[in-house]
Amino acid sequence: MTGLKGRWQSTDGSLLHSMLTFALPIMAMNLLQLLFNAADMVVVGRFDGSAALAAVGATGSLINLIVNLFMGLSVGTSVVVARDYGARKVEAIRQSVHTSIAVSLVGGAIATTIGLLFCAPLLRWMGTPEDILSAATLYMRILFAGMPASMVYNFGAAILRAVGDSKRPMYFLVVSGAVNVVLNLIFVAVLRLGVAGVAWATIISQYLAMGLIMASLMKNEGPLRFNWRRLRIHGLKLAQILKIGVPAGLQSVLFSISNVLIQSAVNSFGTTMVAANAAASNVEGLVSTTMNSYYQAAITFTGQSVGAEDYDRIDVIAKISTGLIFGTWIVVGGLVLFFGRPLLAIYTADPAVIDLGMLRMKVMMAVYFTCGIMNVFPGLTRAMGYSVLPMLSTLVGACLMRIVWLATVFKWYPTEFVLFAVYPVTWALAGLGQVASFFYARSQIRRRASAARHSEAVV
């Protein structure tokens, strides 16, 4: 098997060691990305004020709403490439790679068009405070010019991670993120371009990351090698990617819709609340991005195990993932709370913003392990071929319940605490659904495997 010999390691040996070895570079990458994003907010908040910080923060949920459907397709890429790799199907891997890059280019173009056309009316619909509306609109319009680059990078990173290479995407992010920070300081602190400077720095770094990951794929000597002449969408591979990726993307979109509604409620409290919510959510990202690495590990290792028909490993992967979630909640979540005020003070010197930010962080960190369960277990389930169940669990447990909470409990008691409480309540409900979905999917693939073995024995 050209390009695969000697590299099939991820389901051999100590699974905990293998998963941690795989997850740590992703964790470092996610944390670096968080820090680089934080640098955007720190620079603009410190040099342009709390209003500029609020303008950038007010756009996050809306940006996620527009791009998450296409980003969800990269989950399909991870699963399909991991299965092909586990089954050692060289030509199938090649088709998956070229189809994935083609899809990322198309998705990036569509996301850019939607973002440019609809960002202004959507920000108004969300009730974005008037004093930050024009800055938020400008920031989004510039940022969406970088969507094609962001899509290609994320799909390319998904391809590399699917075969166990989680280090190179991290290296590329380090380079592009460092460039982003330097450009932030030049554009905002020196040239005084404000939120526009932050946006330009971001998209320049995104195109750099895209160039690095495409160069890596083009130089690959194995089945991951990318060739522009082979760029096309293979129907079968597209169908496989869509089967996993569309429900994953829809789940992200539905989740983003609920977050947009929450952001609208945040906006109703004014600019100080918007700034506090943005800063606190950025600090909380230290926990969520760490847990996201376990999602990536779970989906890759489970996908490869399914491809190799090594179903017993799936239970072990689930147990290890759960242990890592609780460990991260206790250690990292505890550190975030303990150092909460000085961390928030990095973003702003406004004591009112810091007080509100601490309130949000205390509510979130109390049961943040439920967020980890809700986010990690869908990776296990999707890798087994069941992508609709996690979507439905998120739709009912998180999205619909958030809407119900905002329309009832928050309407009756419109306080900051009640608004923030919507997160842990819906995390717990969605998490229960995700665990149930996992056990159902596991029972189904075991039943099919048992039936196949019985059929072979009869023959």
For the chain, domain boundaries: 15-449
Q: Are 384 and 243 in contact (CB under 8 A)?
A: no
More confident position, 73 or 1: 73
User: What would the two tokens of residue 401 be?
Assistant: 């319940």
In this prediction, residues 346-362 reach a mean pLDDT of 90
Distances (CA, A) of 319 to 15, 326, 330, 394: 11, 11, 17, 21
Q: Is the pLDDT of residue 200 over 70?
A: yes
CA atoms within 13 A on the CB side of 326: 5
- Please work out, in degrees rounded to the nearest 5, the angle formed at the alpha carbon of residue 171 by the alpha carbons of 169 and 175: 115
Identify the pLDDT of residue 458.
Answer: 52
Poorest-confidence range of 130-134, 139-143, 396-400?
130-134
Identify the pLDDT of residue 190.
Answer: 82
Identify the pLDDT of residue 122.
Answer: 81
Identify the pLDDT of residue 3.
Answer: 47
What percent of the chain has pLDDT above 70? 91
Q: Is the pLDDT of residue 154 over 80?
A: yes
Q: Are 249 and 77 in contact (CB under 8 A)?
A: no
Question: 371-400 burial, b for 16+ CB within 10 Å, e for fewer?
Answer: bbbbbbbbbbbbbbbbbbbbbebbbebbbb
In this prediction, residues 75-83 reach a mean pLDDT of 82
In this prediction, residues 170-192 reach a mean pLDDT of 85
Poorest-confidence range of 146-150, 152-156, 160-164, 439-443?
160-164
Residue 100 CB contacts under 8 Å (≥ 6 apart), including other chains: 74, 77, 81, 155, 158, 159, 237, 241
Longest dimension (CA), the chain: 76
User: What would the two tokens of residue 258 be?
Assistant: 């609920």
Q: Is 451 exposed, middle or buried (0-12, 13-18, 19+ CB in 10 A)?
A: exposed
Q: Is the pLDDT of residue 445 over 80?
A: yes
More confident position, 152 or 33: 152
Distances (CA, A) of 122 to 196, 277, 318, 342: 19, 19, 39, 34
pTM of the shown model = 0.69
More confident position, 450 or 406: 406
Q: Is the pLDDT of residue 275 over 80?
A: yes
More confident position, 198 or 48: 198
Q: Is the pLDDT of residue 12 over 50?
A: no
Mean pLDDT, rounded, of the chain: 84
Q: Are 345 and 279 in contact (CB under 8 A)?
A: no
Residue 412 CB: number of other CB atoms within 10 A?
8
